[in-house]
Amino acid sequence: MEYSIKTTKPQEFINITNLVAEAVKTSGVKKGVAIVFVPHTTAGVTINENADPDVVTDILTALNKKYPENDGYLHIEGNSHAHIKASLMGSSCSVIIEDGRLKMGTWQGIYFCEFDGPRNRKVYIKILEG
């Protein structure tokens, strides 16, 4: 399944847990794996705390301290910081499905990570039964 995400900021985390949960529900799969894949080199996906929004702010702040937007990078497009951050987050994640639901920790959420926005982005979700 392909989904569109419109980001609104240069860098942001968008909670897509409900999107993935809905894909699982629609699939009818009761036991298996949900794979989330982001087909972009300046965006990623991660699983982290979704209870306190300050965690996302802290992650972005730490990434920007370590990999600032302008740091003498050679890439001509000027977005090397975004490529680095996307590589650190990764382009995919997998979540176990049990009893037709995502098996996640109490405080966990799945986040689309934008590092070169705002843009129109895509997310692919594949539900595997097993």
Domain count, the chain: 1
Q: What is the pTM of this model?
A: 0.96
Query: Looking at residue 67, which CATH number applies to its domain?
Result: 2.60.120.460
Q: What is the pLDDT of residues 61-78, one digit of tens each?
A: 999 999 998 889 989 888
Residue 41's nearest CA partner among 111, 91, 78, 93 is 91
What mean pLDDT do residues 108-130 have? 98
Query: What residues make up the domain containing 28?
Result: 2-129
Chain-wide mean pLDDT for the chain?
97
Task: Tell me: pLDDT of 55 over 90.
Answer: yes
- Whether the CB-CB separation of 102 and 21 falls below 8 Å is answered with yes
Q: Given CA atoms 98, 34, 16, 53 in this order, what sign does their dihedral have?
A: positive
Sheet holding 12-15, edge to edge: 12-15, 108-114, 43-49
